[in-house]
Amino acid sequence: MTEKVRLLIALVLLLPWPAHADAPLIGPNPAMLVIIIDDIGNNLEAGMRTVQLPGEVTLAVLPFTPHGKRLAEAGHEAGKEIMLHAPMSNLSGMDLGPDGLTLDLDQETLTSRLRKAIDDIPHVRGINNHTGSELTAASEPMQWVMSELKLQDLYFVDSMTTSASVAGKTAQENAIPNLRRHVFLDNVREPEAIDQAFQQAVSLAQRQGFAVAIGHPYAETLDYLEQALPGLQESGIRLVSVSRLL
């Protein structure tokens, strides 16, 4: 082999391989998928099934619920990450339960309610919004939320219940580690629809390196995840907690 040929081979090996936009990411670091299960705390049986899901599923626990503390403790013992699922005001008039965060609160009251909710759930590493289509679109209250999260060294995940949300932008301005939801797994509580949403999340993770999916402790969702999660690795996907991705 001539010196010229050797040089050409070396140059070719240094060039990046062309990649199609839809091609999965491969290599030593697999694509990462975060799965958050919201609304933990009211139903003990569904909550314990969620705790027992395989892998690093993240549990978002509602404050002041009958089983929230117990399920947070059980989830922590099982190696699951715990978040506060913080009730925030919405445009559809859905009930928030006690001490929800609403637009009519001043900073002192909103901050006090948020602290009480955080203190109610053990092992909290961050929060995401429960409903919140109204509050997450309001700059000043979200600034108050992020100021408290900064003091407590907590992250924020925007559930994206409205496209008008300013939560992520406000988190970034306050140097709060943050993510946003890409896919809801169970807007339609049917196996085929859940599978379609799950595959959408997997595909997105493969394309961009990570994705965030949110589901709920519905029987249909838990049935699906119990079967689907053990096979994620075969798709080149690593299931990770919010903290691990951040």
Domains identified in the chain and CATH numbers: 34-245 (3.20.20.370)
Instruction: Give alpha helix (H) positions in 122-182.
Output: 139-152, 167-173
pTM, entire model:
0.88
Structure token digits, residue 124: 């909290």
SS3 139: helix
pLDDT at 28: 53
pLDDT in tens, 229-242: 999 988 899 999 99
- Asked if 136 contacts 162 with a C-beta cutoff of 8 angstroms, the reply is yes
Q: Residues 6 or more apart from 36 whose CB is under 8 A from it?
A: 57, 58, 59, 60, 83, 128, 157, 181, 212, 213, 214, 215, 242
| Burial environment of residue 104 by CB neighbours within 10 A (0 to 12, 13 to 18, 19 or more) | exposed
pLDDT at 233: 87
- Asked if 221 contacts 186 with a C-beta cutoff of 8 angstroms, the reply is yes
| Burial environment of residue 59 by CB neighbours within 10 A (0 to 12, 13 to 18, 19 or more) | buried
List Cα–Cα distances, 198 to 26, 149, 172, in angstroms. Answer: 20, 30, 28
Residue ranges, the chain, pLDDT below 70: 1-29
